[in-house]
Structure 1
Amino acid sequence: MNVNIRHQVSPYLVFFIIYSSQVGVGILSFQRTITMKAGHDAWIGVLAAGCLVQVFIWVMYTLLEKVDGDIIDVHTAAFGKIFGKFLSLFIMIYYALASISVLLAFIEIIQVWMFPVLPTWLISTLIMVLVYYCISGGFRVVAGVSFHSFIYPQILIIILYYYPLKVAHFSNLLPVMNHSLMDMLDAVKNSMYTIAGTETLLMFYPFIRNPDKSKKFAHLGVLFTTLLYTLSCIVSLTYYSEEQLKTTIWPELSITKIIKFSYLERFEYLYISMYLIIVTALIALLLWSSSRGFKKIFNMKQKYALLITSLVSVVICQFSNETVKEMINTSVTQMNLYIFYIYIPLLLIYFTLFKRGNQRG
């Protein structure tokens, strides 16, 4: 697949795109989920999940190199045009559902922590207008937003972790490896969903200039986010007791309450506002992938596909309830596991055995 060089990004930007794809609202609450069974050993599950994602990055690059295109080109080469597009449709639906899941989670945080009476439709519309504006500028703009979502928030994250570490009880991490294998696997599974997002590489691969040179940046991006999630988990485990952590919905957000300055008392307002940059970058990347896929599958202009998915997102957010949210989150979790960590490796094996596509490198 040939993409004009003017629309491509430099290899080093893949580091920031991968970071943006993995760091979302999940980092604010995943600590509670993974400690339900693994307890104080949950941080080990995060590291293990990060290692599995590194393997998945290698699988995706190896698969995409065979056709020098995106996942739709892979499916077309493997199964033909009609059935290939049919299979690709499921992945595009996943991207769209994942973006809605992120949007719903962030809206809930805004309504609980900042503006309880602000209507859902207004928040979702404002965010989606911003996302639409980013995507309409092309993939280079999406990559630029991903870059900024890394630079500015890191300063606040460093401040956030400094304060709880001053009063941390590292004895909370002992004894190490005190939980069963099944409990650890449960922590790995929950961590895999939290640090998901690298699968967008399946769509933006053709937009990387010299993709071979971007491999190391992709792996470094996963390494950085894995260490960030591990640090976040350790900070929560050493700040809260295990029982406290199991009952705190947003552990990382709750930590912000201890940060106070003479000129700023409610640090969490600044922190949540900063997260708008991160959430916008993540949703933009997911919806760009989805709309780009719908464009190729249905032979339509991407701006129309983007407009439709944006409107659907706003409507779903407006009429969603706890049942709908749970259904969407469950669907995204299951699709992420079965499509990307089971189906994609099997697809690579299929290509390798039958020598389909462009076997370069």
Structure 2
Amino acid sequence: MKYTQNPITFMQYIFLIHGVQVGVGLLTLPRELAEKAGTDGWIALIIGWLFSTLASLIIIQVMKNYPNGTIIDLITNYFGKWCGKIAAVIFILYYAFIGSTIFVREGLFIQFWILPQTNMVILLLLLSIPSYLIVRNNITIVGRYAELVFFMTIWMFFFYFNPLKEAHWLHLLPIIKEGWFPILTAVKTTIFSYLGFEIAFFLYPFLQQKHKASIGIVIANTLTLVVFLIVTIVAFTFYSPDEITQYKEPTINLLKIVEFKFLERLEIVYLSLYIFVISTTVLPIFFVTVFSASQLFGKQDHSKYVGWLLLLNLVYVFFLPQSFDKNTQLQKMSEPISFLLGYAFPLCLWVYLLLYSHLKKRAIK
């Protein structure tokens, strides 16, 4: 019952999961899909949504076996203390790596598009200050922040309907023009784009209305699907199939055609506000990292670990120069582990718990 002191609402639960899914990946997603499946890439988004939703529902079924604890508590209860500690170390390393990679990429976007003359260490130091102030608090505060950012920035996506006035819908035809193989190849990209739902392993014990956990995670995944589909289809219809692959961040380049008499370079203003959206990816991941560290060491307060995590990021950037190519390589390196923790691990654990429950009932009889 120790987690009920810092509860999150149903809406905060949805926006935390959705926020982790929609971040820097959205900026490059249309190009990545076009490179693998051409303008049929939007079909891969729907297939990826099916896989992610299925994995999400399995996670909820797993957590129902230990509703008042996180995944680390569940593993400790079923497999023992040392297995729980090993799991905590794995989650700490995984989320620290993922969070740091996205954190650095956020800084790279700011440096490339907005402040090209500013040193990366300075940028990340400035980002670290608000990050520390939010992550040092409990999950309720992080959830409120995710909810606030969603409603504060949702209007930004309506700008993507403007390029539709110059859209060429014939770019999408014929559907499945090159067969299913390119689409299935692109599914790999989409299932990684939906990753973030596995944060439910840590959100579940904080959720007030646990009976809504399944529908909440489905809503979060569907919300992410809608955002991905809108941006991807707009990009596919606005750019030619060959042209879209020439832009690193076609999602940002789309906004160059949106003009106002009182405003130039809308994409710069948009990206400045989009930093808030990226933060809803980074901050929950950082929270899970330091929260797992507090569980590993048996501490109630996780706030002292936040400063160390942010400091390690600054030291890393100070000694190792960063670039988009290097950052992308790190993301690719994390994909196999992300697949294991997000898709394979919940399935295996769910099957084990079903067998465990079945055998326990037989033993009682």
TM bin (shorter chain)? over 0.9
Asked if structure 1 preserves the Cα contact closer than 8 Å seen for 2:57 and 2:217, the reply is no
TM-score (norm 1): 0.94
Q: Which residue of 2 aligns with 1:76?
A: 76
Tell me the secondary structure at the aligned position of residue 107 of structure 1.
helix
Q: Which residue of 2 aligns with 1:349?
A: 351
CA deviation after TM superposition for structure 1 residue 32, in Å? 0.8
Q: Which residue of 2 aligns with 1:93?
A: 93
Q: Please tell me the residue identity of whatever aligns with 2:327.
A: K
Matches within 5 A, 1:1-361: 2-5=2-5, 7-68=6-67, 69-158=69-158, 160-300=159-299, 301-318=301-318, 319-322=320-323, 324-355=326-357
Q: How many residues align?
A: 357
Distance, in Å, in 1 between the alignment partners of 2:340 and 2:280 is 25
CA deviation after TM superposition for structure 1 residue 175, in Å? 0.8
Asked if structure 2 preserves the Cα contact closer than 8 Å seen for 1:130 and 1:280, the reply is no
Q: Please tell me the residue identity of whatever aligns with 1:286.
A: I
CA deviation after TM superposition for structure 1 residue 33, in Å? 1.0
Tell me the secondary structure at the aligned position of residue 29 of structure 1.
helix
CA deviation after TM superposition for structure 1 residue 321, in Å? 3.1
Gap change, CA 1:327 and 1:246, over 3 Å in 2: closer
| Structure 2 unaligned blocks of 5 or more | none
Distance, in Å, in 1 between the alignment partners of 2:169 and 2:89 is 47
Overall identity of the aligned pairs, in %:
22
Distance, in Å, in 1 between the alignment partners of 2:2 and 2:180 is 46
Q: Please tell me the residue identity of whatever aligns with 2:64.
A: E
Distance, in Å, in 2 between the alignment partners of 1:253 and 1:290 is 30
Q: Deviations over 1:286-336 (max 9, x none)?
A: 010111011101224411222221111222233243464244212322211
RMSD, aligned α-carbons:
1.9
CA deviation after TM superposition for structure 1 residue 188, in Å? 0.9
Gap change, CA 1:320 and 1:203, over 3 Å in 2: farther
Q: Which moved more, 1:21-30 or 1:311-320?
A: 311-320
Asked if structure 2 preserves the Cα contact closer than 8 Å seen for 1:2 and 1:206, the reply is no
Q: Deviations over 1:44-82 (max 9, x none)?
A: 001111111111111110001101121101211232111
CA deviation after TM superposition for structure 1 residue 277, in Å? 1.1
Asked if structure 2 preserves the Cα contact closer than 8 Å seen for 1:32 and 1:249, the reply is yes
Q: Please tell me the residue identity of whatever aligns with 1:273.
A: S
Asked if structure 2 preserves the Cα contact closer than 8 Å seen for 1:156 and 1:271, the reply is yes
Asked if structure 2 preserves the Cα contact closer than 8 Å seen for 1:48 and 1:188, the reply is yes
CA deviation after TM superposition for structure 1 residue 278, in Å? 1.1
Q: Please tell me the residue identity of whatever aligns with 1:325.
A: N
Q: Please tell me the residue identity of whatever aligns with 2:342.
A: F
Tell me the secondary structure at the aligned position of residue 12 of structure 1.
helix
Moved over 6 A (4+): none
Q: Please tell me the residue identity of whatever aligns with 2:71.
A: I
TM-score (norm 2): 0.93
Q: Please tell me the residue identity of whatever aligns with 2:314.
A: V
Tell me the secondary structure at the aligned position of residue 355 of structure 1.
helix
Tell me the secondary structure at the aligned position of residue 10 of structure 2.
coil
Q: Which moved more, 1:87-96 or 1:67-76?
A: 87-96
CA deviation after TM superposition for structure 1 residue 164, in Å? 0.8
Distance, in Å, in 1 between the alignment partners of 2:214 and 2:342 is 18
Tell me the secondary structure at the aligned position of residue 157 of structure 2.
helix
Q: Which moved more, 1:249-258 or 1:320-329?
A: 320-329
CA deviation after TM superposition for structure 1 residue 4, in Å? 3.2
Gap change, CA 1:336 and 1:80, over 3 Å in 2: same
Q: Please tell me the residue identity of whatever aligns with 1:243.
A: D
Distance, in Å, in 2 between the alignment partners of 1:320 and 1:290 is 24
